[in-house]
Amino acid sequence: MRLAALCAAAFAAGCGAPEPPPPAAAGGPEPEAHPCLPGPDAAWLRPSNAGVDLPHLGGAPDDELGWAVAAFVDTVVPGAHRDPTGAPGGIDVGAPALFFDPALPAQAFLPALVSALDMSAGARLPGRSFPVIAAAEREQVLGEAVAIEAMELAIQLAKLAYYASAGAGCHLGYPGPNPGYFDNEDMSFGVPMAEEITVDGNYP
**For residue range 168-190, what is the model confidence (pLDDT) as tens digits?**
999 998 876 666 666 666 666 66
Sketch the domain layout of the chain as residue ranges. Answer: 61-176
Tell me, what amino acid is at 171?
A: H
User: For residue 58, what are the contacts with CB-CB under 8 A and spacing of at least 6?
Assistant: 44, 70, 73, 74, 79, 90, 91, 92, 93, 94, 95, 96, 97
DSSP summary character for residue 25: P
The sign of the CA dihedral 127, 131, 133, 138 is positive
- Looking at residue 104, its pLDDT comes to 86
Q: What is the pLDDT of residues 73-108, one digit of tens each?
A: 999 999 999 999 999 999 999 999 999 999 888 899
Pair 86, 37: CB distance under 8 Å:
yes
| Nearest to 56, CA basis, from 34, 40, 32 | 40
| Nearest to 77, CA basis, from 90, 87, 88, 66 | 90
pTM of the model: 0.72
Cα 40 from Cα 45, distance rounded (Å): 7
Q: What is the largest CA-CA distance in the chain?
A: 80
User: For residue 65, what are the contacts with CB-CB under 8 A and spacing of at least 6?
Assistant: 110, 111, 114
Helix (H, G, I), strand (E, B) or coil at 78: coil
- Looking at residue 31, its pLDDT comes to 57
- Looking at residue 30, its pLDDT comes to 53
- Looking at residue 12, its pLDDT comes to 40
**Phi and psi for 116 in degrees, rounded to 5?**
-65, -40
Tell me, what amino acid is at 59?
A: G
Instruction: Give pLDDT < 70 ranges for the chain.
Output: 1-31, 47-51, 176-197, 201-204
- Looking at residue 21, its pLDDT comes to 41
Pair 69, 99: CB distance under 8 Å:
yes
- Looking at residue 66, its pLDDT comes to 93
Pair 60, 71: CB distance under 8 Å:
no
- Looking at residue 6, its pLDDT comes to 39
CA angle 188, 164, 120 (to 5 degrees): 150
- Looking at residue 20, its pLDDT comes to 40
Cα 59 from Cα 46, distance rounded (Å): 8
- Looking at residue 23, its pLDDT comes to 45
